[in-house]
Amino acid sequence: MTRDLDDLLAPPTPTALLALEAVRRWSSPALVDHGIRSWAWARLRAEALGLDHDAEVLYVAAMLHDLGVTPAFDAHEIAFESAGGAAGWLFAAGAGWPVERRERVREIIERHMWLSVDPALDPEGHLLEVATSLDVSGVAPELWDADILRAVTQRHPRRDFSAQFAGCIHAQARRKPATPAARLDASQRIAEGGRVWDGILA
């Protein structure tokens, strides 16, 4: 592995760094590391595909995409990704971004729970969707270099992420059975993802 991890993991702009500060303030350490790993997997996939994308917007979305499962941002009725998207929109507004850019953050966060996102429709949405699918459910790890997967995860470990996130998603599914969280909960893909990652890291 020759990839510079410091370069790979660094927030691309000062505003992106503030998104990291925000997720550290409001999320558990396991969710923080999940967001950072998701950024790394997304960026690596973009490089592999040669996919043009907005790194700042993608980083902000990667950091904030699961705020909707945290106690401070969990919404009673709406899907957690919609709650997270709303939080992302407000963060972007506070950063002084124009309305169109705020909407992009919201869309990317909401679409990370789609079954797939067309990169021609939304390159950042596609990248976050495949990155989180890898990190949560262990989908298609062969698309990434195994040494880099291990190196990033050594720096930002999984801790009890699979068990913690499964609990969050189960709670979402129980209270909001018509949302994508219920599909994910029923699929048992989070537990399977934990087993895939155990194999990658063995």
Rounded to the nearest integer, the mean pLDDT of the chain is 97
d(CA 124, CA 127): 5
In eight-state DSSP terms, residue 113 is T
pLDDT digits (tens, 9 = 90+) for 35-54: 999 999 999 999 999 999 99
Residue 59 lies in a domain: yes
What pLDDT, on the 0 to 100 scale, is given for residue 3? 76
pLDDT digits (tens, 9 = 90+) for 52-93: 999 999 999 999 999 999 999 999 999 999 999 999 999 999
| Domain span including residue 49 | 12-201
Residue 32 lies in a domain: yes
Residue 134 lies in a domain: yes
For the chain, how many structural domains are there in total? 1
